[in-house]
Amino acid sequence: MKRLTVGIIPSPDMPSKMVKKVQQQLPAEFSRIIDDEIEWHIDTHIASMVGTAEHMDKTIDIAANMKTQKEWDLAICITDLPSISDNKVVLSDINSDKRVALLSLPALGMLNVKTKLRHFITYLVHYMFKPGEEEHLITRKHFRFSRIIEVQPSEGNNSQNKRLILKSIVGGWFHLISGMTFANEPWSAIFDFKKIISVSFATGAYITIFSTPWDMTLYYDYWRFILFMLLSIFGMTGWLIYSYKLWEFPTPSTQRIYRYVYNLTTVTTLASITLFNFIALFLLLTLSTMLFVPPHLYTHMTSLQHRLPSVVDYFNLIWFMTCIAILAGALGSTVESAEKIKRVTYSYRQYYRYEQLEDEKEEESKGRTYNEQLDYNGKKQSHREEGSNNG
């Protein structure tokens, strides 16, 4: 029986985690869909290669070299950074001649990522192994908001290079931003906000001694509660971006469209983290209010003179206190680790890029050039060459 080895090269963090989840299922999937007379073998190698349209050719070359050195038959890179072409989201770049492909994990969105990843790895292997026979593998169920089309990359003259893009700009960007937010794993940063949560909880408890907030909740319409909640969430998001300098400004080494993507992902990631903390604080205040604010005290503190408070009254009071507490907590405290918030905001690859830009600014302020700063062992080590040593 013929044996073929497919090398998978995921970036650290989310791509490597997702590849581990599907790796055992891939040989059976290849046999079922591509060729059951081949003994499929999967080999993985984690490497922090950059995979954006700014240097896609370099990534393909690095993967091709690694494929040759490790004697793989095909190679697929899985990156956690975006790729954009003519404002449209790129799902994959394929070089059939070298039998190398690159898949952008964020382009898969945030729902059913494991299933989509398994499916598109199979698609790419099928594409490179049996060109022209894989069209039926892409179905509408995988991308309901955009159709996948194949185009010829404009930056290269090699007819063997093909690119899969999401045709809809709106649908593609929705998948991309949600996928990058998912890759940042915002739920993992909840415990890094213990200081903010503690200050927020103390603020929420303190304002209960004043009767004005209690009375305000009796007359607020729900659109005011929603507006106040959005203000508190995005107010805290904006404060974190400002206080930790997480906004990326124009630099010579960054294309404008990628800067937009990174900044938008920063906002969505921090807003998600704040929302999780909002829910946690709401539950804490709910528990304390139910235990220490009996109905008769609620009536005494408000204008409810002839009836006891309902569940809705309690809910509105806790909702209002949570909004105020989140705003106060954001302005009055900090997260446990600035390094952690940068990592969870930018993901592994974006964090590396952030650090490099900061080093560039620091060296420029000292009057040294970027090339001098990155000269290491006689070879320039740039962001796009980060994974070259892995090859």
What is the reported pLDDT for 258?
A: 85
pLDDT in tens, 288-333: 888 887 887 777 777 776 677 888 888 988 899 899 888 887 776 6
Q: Which of 142, 162, 137 is nearest to 152 (CA)?
A: 162
Q: Where are the alpha helices (DSSP H) in 184-221?
A: 194-207, 211-219
As beta bridge partners, residue 381 has none
What is the reported pLDDT for 149?
A: 83
Do 285 and 318 form a contact (C-beta atoms < 8 A)? yes
Q: Which two tokens stand for residue 352?
A: 């590396």
Least reliable range by pLDDT among 64-73, 197-206, 348-357: 348-357
Q: Which residue has the higher pLDDT, 212 or 29?
A: 29
pLDDT in tens, 172-212: 899 999 999 998 888 887 777 777 888 888 888 777 777 77
Axis crossing angle, helix 26-33 with helix 113-129, rounded to the nearest 10 = 50
Q: Is the pLDDT of residue 354 over 70?
A: no
What is the reported pLDDT for 351?
A: 67
What is the reported pLDDT for 184?
A: 87
CA distance 270 to 184: 10
pLDDT, averaged across the chain? 80
Note every long-range contact of 206-213, with CB atoms under 8 Å and residues 24 or more positions apart, other chains counting.
207/321, 207/324, 207/325, 208/289, 208/293, 208/321, 211/301, 211/302, 213/317, 213/320, 213/321, 213/324
Burial class (CB in 10 A: 0-12, 13-18, 19+), 299: middle
Do 196 and 333 form a contact (C-beta atoms < 8 A)? yes
Residue 15: helix, strand or coil by DSSP? helix
Neighbours of 285 (CB within 10 A): 22
Q: Is the pLDDT of residue 370 over 60?
A: no
What is the reported pLDDT for 355?
A: 66
pLDDT in tens, 8-27: 999 888 899 999 999 999 99
What is the reported pLDDT for 336?
A: 65
Burial class (CB in 10 A: 0-12, 13-18, 19+), 157: exposed
Indicate the pLDDT class of residue 339, thresholds 50, 70 and 90: confident
Indicate the pLDDT class of residue 366, thresholds 50, 70 and 90: low
What is the reported pLDDT for 379?
A: 40
CA distance 215 to 217: 5
Please state which CATH number belongs to domain 2-177.
3.40.390.10
Q: Is the pLDDT of residue 168 over 90?
A: no
Least reliable range by pLDDT among 96-110, 196-210, 273-287, 326-340: 326-340
Quote the distance between the C-alpha of residue 69 and its chain's center. 32
Q: Where are the domains of the chain?
A: 2-177, 186-349
E strand segments, the chain: 2-10, 38-44, 74-79, 84-85, 88-95, 100-104, 148-151, 161-166, 375-376, 379-380
Task: Output the pTM of the full model.
Answer: 0.80
